[in-house]
Amino acid sequence: MKNTTMILLACLVLFFITGCNEPASVGNVSVEENSSEEGEIMDPVENDDVPFSKPEDSDRQEEQQMEPQLTLSEIKEQLIEVYGRQVPVQWGERVSGVKNSIDTNDKVIALTFDACGGGRLGNGYDEELIDFLIENNIPATLFISGGWIDNNEEVFAKLAKVPTFSIQNHGYRHRPLSVNGQSAYGIKGTGSVAEVIDEIILNDEKIAEITGKRTQYFRSGTAFYDDVAVNIANELGKTVVNFSVVGDGGARFSQQQVHNAVVRAKPGAIVLLHMNRPDTEIAAGVRSAVLELQKQNVSFVTLDEYHKYLSEEVIN
C-alpha cells in the first residue's frame, strides 16, 4: 500500500506541474454543481509560495517526468482505489495531520483571514481591515474560497499582488471536508473521495488561473475534517492548517473581544479571523491588537515562512 501511495503521489505532482486543464466534469466522475443558493457559511465560533514539487527536489522531478501523465479522472480513480473503502475514525477541528501552530521560540504570530463566500455576508470584503494590513506591512495568510473569488474577482486579483499576503485555499464551495458527507454547523460536507478532490483542486485551479501560482495550504469551510479526507489532501500536495486561537468568534466578537483574543495569543499561535465581514468590528479589534503586540516586539508571519515548523499542537 505504501509503494502504491508513493507512486500515486509522484503522478499527482507531475499532473499539477504540467498544468492540466481538465473540464469540471471528467469521465465518470462529475463535479457537483452548486444549484442552490447557500446562505452565509462561517467558520468556528470556538475553537517563497511552494508549488507541489519543491525546486530543491530537481532529481526527483526528473524521475517524476518519466511517469505517465494522468488525467484528473484517472487521479480520482487511483485515489478512490486507495481511500474509497477507508472508514474515518476522526471528525472535527482537531484531527491527526492538521496543523494548528508554529513550533518555535521566536516571538511570532501567524494571522490568517478567511474569505468564506456564500450569501451577502459571506461575499463581503472588509476593506478597512485589509487596508490596515497593507499600509502597515503586516504579513498575513488569506484563505480564499471559490465562491468569494467569483464575487470579488477584481479585488482578489489585487490582493494576490500584495507581497506581504500569502494566498491559500479555503475550498471550492466552502464545505467541511469529509468522505461520507458529515456535517458541521448545519453545513453538509463533501460526500466522497471524488468530492474531496474537487473541493480542493477546483479551487486551486481557480486561484492559479488568476495568480499563476498553486496553493500550498488548505483550510476547509467550517475547519472540520475527517482523517481520511486529511490524508487525501496531503496526497494532493496540501498541508491542512487550522488554528490555535479563534480571533473573532466566527465573526461575532466585538472590537474588545477581538482585541483580547489576538493580544493573548502566545508566540507560535495561528490566529483565525475573517476578512469578509465589513459589518463587524473585526477591523478595529485587529488594528488595536496588532499595534499593541508590535510594542511587545511581536512579529507577524505568513505560514510559508515557518512551513518546516508547523505543528499539530494547539497553543492555548
Please report where in the chains the cell 493580544 appears, as a residue.
263
| 125 vs 114: CA distance, rounded Å | 11
Evaluate whether 222 touches 131 at the Cβ level (below 8 Å).
no
Q: What pLDDT, on a 0 to 100 scale, did the predictor assign at position 307?
A: 98
Q: What pLDDT, on a 0 to 100 scale, did the predictor assign at position 265?
A: 98
- Helices 72-83 and 193-211, packing angle to 10 deg: 140
At 173 the three-state DSSP class reads coil
| CA 294-297-298 angle, 5° bins | 70
Q: What pLDDT, on a 0 to 100 scale, did the predictor assign at position 71?
A: 80
Q: What pLDDT, on a 0 to 100 scale, did the predictor assign at position 213?
A: 95
At the top level of CATH, which class does the domain 89-311 belong to?
alpha beta
Show the cell assigned to 243: 488554528
Give 10-residue mean pLDDT values along the chain (316 residues).
Answer: 46 40 32 37 42 37 48 91 98 98 98 95 97 99 99 98 99 98 97 98 97 98 99 98 98 99 98 98 99 99 98 91
Q: Count of alpha carbons within 13 Å of 162, Cβ hemisphere only? A: 23
